[in-house]
Every structure is written in C-alpha cells, then in structure tokens.
Structure 1
Amino acid sequence: MTLPGHDQSRFPLRMEWGPTGAQAVTADYAVVVDVLSFTTTLSVAIERGIEVFPFRWRDARAAEHAVRHGATLAVGRFEALTRGNARHVSLSPASLSEVEGIERLVLPSPNGSTIAFALADSGAQVLGACLRNAGAVARWLAPKVADGASVVVVPAGERWHDGTLRPAVEDLWGAGAVLAGLVGEDEAGTGASPEAWMAVAAWQGTRMPADLLRCASGLELTEVGFVADVEIAAQHDVSEVVPLLVGESFRDGADHQPPTPRLRRVGS
C-alpha cells in the first residue's frame, strides 16, 4: 500500500527508484533508466533494427524464451569473453554495436526487465531511456504531457549483496536527463515533483564522461576491462530511438505508435 503523498500523483512529472518505486508511483507513461547497462544496450540494439525481448531471469528459462520467440540469447559479459572467437551476442553495448544479422534478441536483466514489466502491469506505456537517447524520449513524451498525460521516470539502481536497493548515481543522472527535456520553462516547479526536480539538478551538475567513468558502477566495469561500455553509456543525445515495450518486446517508437493509455487526472 502506498502512503498518501508517496505516489506523487499531484504532479504530472514524477520520479521514483527501483522495482518497489515502479509499483508505488504509477503514471500514464513510464520510463525505465538503467544506464549501466540494460537501457544503454537496449538503445544500441534498437538503433541496429533489433527487436529486444527483455527477460527477468538469467538461467535456462532465458534460453527457452529465446527459442520460443526465434531470438538470439544475449550472454553475460564474462561468459562472452570465455567463448573466444565464437559467434555470440553479449549484454555489453560495445560488443552489440558490432553484431550483424540479428533480428530478435532476448536480453536477460533481472533488474531492468522486472521494472519494465511491473510498470507495464500498472497499465502504463513503458519506454526505455539512457543518456544516449534521453532527448529523443523527452521529445516523444512532450506532446503527451502537453495533452495532460502523466510520466514517471524510474532509475533502476543496482543491488547490494543482501539484495537491497543500491541507488546508482548514473541512473539518477539518466532520469534527470530525460526529465530535463520535459520540465521546460516550469521554473516554479509546479509540474514536476521535488523528486523529479532533484534528478534534473543532479544531471545538470554532471561532467561527462569523467563522472560516469569515476562513479562506483563505472569503476566496477572499467577495472575489469569494460571501459568501452562505460564510454558508450556516457554519450549524451547521440541516438534518436525511442524504445517502447509492446507486448513482450521493445521496438522503436518511430515505427510503432501504440494507442494512448487512458489518462489519469493529476491528483487522482
């Protein structure tokens, strides 16, 4: 049960963290942000014309899901390294940017996928955003907001070893980059929740790519040889794709315009 005020329903632009936040703060449109690396990998795949099937689990069920949809299964970064020169697709956005001949891809991501489907279960139209396509997503949403739609942006965060949420600063920056394109001239802050404004302020104070390379998640990847993934994730507004979750898969919003969800009145 969401406590009064915690759902941010008096504001059309909202922000809340992780899977629990995705269930607590609903809206007509919902944007999941997982900069390192689910939504960055997603953006790269969509750019290359690949239909992406997110999946909650990284086990045998993912392989079965890929077979069911006639899709290629993306493997983990480290598993890909052990395969040498074998043909494979991995969760690394840098490696995915080089693949050819892939039309459908199952992308296992317990955190990002769980959030995406939780948001979809709430009735929202779900989008995926990262720094690479933050502006494109904001521009896609702007006319909907102008028509009265509400938007919640959900930074995915990471997990500590005990399973609790670790708010990841890179996802806060990504959320802020999307929201910065939506707050417009609303200097009084009446259209965005304080939580949303906090994300915008965090984004406006960043220095890319240095901050992404030096934050905890960035260091975790760079120290084990995946600096290229971080550098790709740090690119801002280099992509025009708008990944939309349609059924079980993400497709480019430029190619698919779903029905407008039933709009919730602000404050309801």
Structure 2
Amino acid sequence: MDAWFRQAGYQVRLEWGPDGVTALGGDCAVLVIVDVLSFTTSVDIAVSRGARIMPLRWKDEAAEENARLAGLPVGAAFGDKLSLRPSSLTSIEPGTTLALPSANGATLCALAEETGAHVLTGCLRNADAVATRARELAGERPIGIIAGGERWQLPGDPLRPCWEDLLGAGAIISALPDGRSPEAEMAARTYQATGAEMLADCVGAKELVAAGYPDDVRLATEVNVSTVTPRLSNGVLS
C-alpha cells in the first residue's frame, strides 16, 4: 500500500474499519480499536471489574463453538445477561472470561492482532489512560487509532463512519503528542470542540434508545471515569 495511505511520516494516525487496520498495521507499533457503541465500552466495563473479554469475529460459528467447548460463556448481541450491551456487564463476576462477538470492535481486534502490533481498546470512558498506555508501548514508533464505524444495512454491509467513534478516537488522540496526521488532528479538534455532549443525539445512540437501552448510551458518554487499558494478548483482552 502506498505510503500516503499509510499516513507515513506521522507519529499519530487515524483510519476507519478493517481497511484501516490493513493500512496502518504494518507501520504502527500500537493499534487502538475504538467502537464506542458498544464493544470497547463493554470491554472497559468488564475489565474494570476484573473480567476478561475474548473478541470473536462476527458470525464466526466455529470460534463460538470452540469457546463453548472450552466452557466459556458467549455473549449475545443484545440481552440482559452477558451481552454486547455495556449495562449487561456492570455486574459481571471478576475472573469471568466472556467470548464476545461483534461486527466491528471484536472483528477489528482479531484483525489487528494479526498485524503483530500491540492492540488496545479505547472509548470515552478510558481515553486518557489508553493514550498514556499507547505511548508507553509505542516508544518512538507510530500509534494508529482505528475508528470502528458502523454498518449500513445494505448489500455488502458497507462501512458507515459514525459520530460516536469519531469522538472516541478524538478523545484519545487529544491526549497523544503532536506529530498527528491531518486525519488524526481532525478527530482531535472535533472532540475538543464538542466533547461528548452531542453523542446522545447521534444515529447510533438514538437506535439504542429506541430499542430500549438508554443506560448503554449513558455509560458510553462518560468521559475518563476509568483507568483500565485493555490489551489484547493471546486472543484475550484484559
């Protein structure tokens, strides 16, 4: 891939979705996956309680069956017990390892791990802490922020860049040093100009509220209330 698509020459870079992992994974020492509604918010809450998350690629039936055979609970997309919903994990038992599939965040974690980079997950709740950890792991090498985006419900499931992941990425980038690519700087300035105030009115938040999950939106909009920095190691975030 050409150097300009890799945002070569910049210490802090931003891209979207699976193709973003491909673009930045070869150069960056650290990839930070951001999927605010809801995967990386759920990971933050679970890890804060001493649990671990095994991210599974979306619709990977073999991986889900292997997790069950290993005696691990497999989270659902929705539901009140151990699901992708952040509010379902606020009472998860310490020591639990939950296999959690998702179309964006979990799938991106699996892809990012294949690049050989250190993989962290971040959201608004732990933005500053994740930025600090990313700097420690990267040293002098670049850091890539991967905004997950959502999916249009159209043939091929095309990527829909979304407001919540732009804000989450911007919050993390705002706590990282200069040397940002224009794409990364744009996200940081957007977050600095708006904060999390508009997140509750974005498409993704309205979808969750309409489905009866306002608590998930509330948890996702809390900023820097957590100091955990979930890192992917041997297929598990802890």
On whether the aligned pair clears a TM of 0.5, the verdict is yes
Of 134, 159, 167, 2:161 maps to: 167
Do the aligned residues in 1 keep the contact of 2:29 with 2:137 (CA within 8 Å)? Answer: no
**How far 1:220 moved relative to its partner?**
0.7
1:54 — aligned with what? 55
| Alignment size in residue pairs | 234
Tell me the secondary structure at the aligned position of residue 15 of structure 1. strand
* Matching residue's letter, 1:200: A
Q: What pairs up with 1:228-247 in 2 under 5 angstroms?
A: 228-247=215-234
In structure 2, distance between residues paired with 1:69 and 1:12: 40
| 3-state SS of 1:205 partner | helix
Deviations 1:88-125 (A, max 9, x none): 31211112102336611001112212211222211111
Alignment pair present for 1:155 and 2:147: yes
Question: For 2:7, what is the secondary structure of its paired residue?
Answer: coil
Q: Is the 8 A contact 2:75 2:83 kept in 1?
A: yes
Is 1:16 paired with 2:15? Answer: yes
SS of equivalent residue, structure 2 residue 83: coil
CA distance in 1, matches of 2:135, 2:94: 34
Deviation by residue 1:186-228 (Cα, 9 ceiling, x = unmatched): 4xxxx111111011011112243x4111001011111111110
- Asked whether the equivalents of residues 29 and 143 of structure 2 are also in contact (C-alpha less than 8 Å), the reply is yes
Which range moves more in the overlay, 101-110 or 226-235? 101-110
Q: Tell me, yes or no, if the aligned pair for 1:157 and 1:165 is still in contact at 8 Å.
A: yes
Q: Structure 2 regions of 5+ residues with no counterpart? A: none
Change in Cα spacing, 1:239 to 1:69, as seen in structure 2 (3 Å) is farther
> What secondary structure sits across from 2:194 in the alignment?
coil
Give the greater-gyration-radius structure (CA): 1
Task: Report the equivalent of 1:205.
Answer: 193
Amino acid aligned to 1:220: E
CA gap 1:65/1:13 in 2 versus in 1, 3 angstroms: same
CA distance in 2 between partners of 1:233 and 1:200 (Å): 18
Which amino acid counterpart does residue 246 of structure 1 have in structure 2?
S
CA contact (8 A) 1:158 1:165 kept: yes
Distance change in 2, residues 1:101/1:243 (3 Å):
closer
Match of 2:99 in 1: 106
Q: Percent identity?
A: 39
Cα distance in 1 for partners of 2:69, 2:170 equals: 37
Deviations 1:62-86 (A, max 9, x none): 5413224431111121xx26xxxxx
In the superposition, the TM-score normalised over structure 2's length comes to: 0.92
Q: 1:59 to 1:192 in 2, by over 3 A?
A: closer
The answer for unaligned runs of 5 or more in structure 1 is 82-87, 252-268
CA, structure 1 residues 118+223, in 2 after alignment: closer, same or farther (shift >3 Å)?
Answer: same
TM-score normalized by structure 1? 0.82
Deviation digits for residues 165-200 of structure 1, max 9, x if unmatched? 1001110111111111112xx4xxxx1111110110
Which whole-Å CA distance do the structure 1 matches of 2:211 and 2:36 have between them? 18
Q: Could you tell me which residue of structure 1 aligns to residue 66 of structure 2?
A: 65
Instruction: Check if 1:130 corresponds to 2:129.
Output: no
Contact 1:40 1:233 in 2 (8 A): yes
Q: Judge conservation of contact 2:74–2:100 (CA < 8 Å) in 1.
A: yes
What displacement does 1:30 show? Answer: 0.4
Match of 2:209 in 1: 222
Measured against aligned partners, the alpha-carbon deviations of 1:119-148 in whole angstroms (never above 9, x if no partner) come to: 221111100000001111111123445x31
* Amino acid aligned to 1:28: A
